[in-house]
Structure 1
């Protein structure tokens, strides 16, 4: 199940990489610095499956830089990536959202310990429902 969690975040990173690549194609950013940033991003995509723990700092750095360097796409950065990398990335999340992700992680760990399947996206939708909505 841990690999499914990693696969989910790798897919989100690849999606974000496509968005970052499109910025250059749309000539919204200077090519020289952007190219180096994309190289480091590609390095993360290679390193994360090999060494998920060791790649955490690179991920934190690149996600944080994405917010600072490319504010025009900040709303397109998947929130799951902020939680996954943690550290400085959490500064871009409100407390309520951090609380939701903590609950989500607790549910995921409980499911793993009980050998149960866990659907991250379905659970996230349940937790995001308003308080007065019945949850199954």
Structure 2
């Protein structure tokens, strides 16, 4: 189940990479170090599956840099990535959102401890519902 969790975040990183590439292709990047940034980003995509624990710092650094280097796409950065990498990335999340992700992680750990399947996306949608909404 942990690999499914990692796979979810790798898919989000791959999607975000596509956005970064498109940004460069559209010549919306004024910085000539965009190619070097993408090389470091690719390094993260290679290293994260091999060594998730030691890749967290690189992920934090790169995601944080996106907010500073490419503010025009900051709203396109998946919120799940901010939580996944944690650290400085949490500065880009409001307290209410951090609380939602804490609850989501608690549910995930409980499901894993009980050997139950856990659908991150579905659980996130359920937790985001207003309190008066029926939750099945």
- In structure 2, C-alpha distance between the alignment counterparts of 1:74 and 1:132, rounded to whole Å: 31
Stretches of structure 1 that go unaligned for 5 or more consecutive residues are none
Give the distance between the partners of 1:95 and 1:135, measured in 2 at CA.
23
Q: Once the two structures are superposed, what CA deviation does each residue of 1:39-61 show, in whole Å capped at 9, x if it has no partner?
A: 00000000000100000000000
Q: Any gaps of 5 or more consecutive residues in structure 2? A: none
* Length-normalised TM-score, structure 1: 0.98
Match of 2:53 in 1: 53
Distance of 2:41 and 2:31 partners within structure 1: 15
Quote the residue 2:112 is aligned against: 112
Tell me whether 1:88 sits opposite 2:83 in the alignment: no
Q: Distance in 1 between matches of 2:58 and 2:39?
A: 12
- The 3-state SS of whatever aligns with 2:54 is coil
Which residue of structure 1 lines up, in the alignment, with residue 29 of structure 2?
Answer: 29
Distance 2:31 2:94 in 1: 32
Aligned residues: 136
CA RMSD in angstroms comes to: 0.7
Asked if structure 2 preserves the Cα contact closer than 8 Å seen for 1:44 and 1:58, the reply is yes
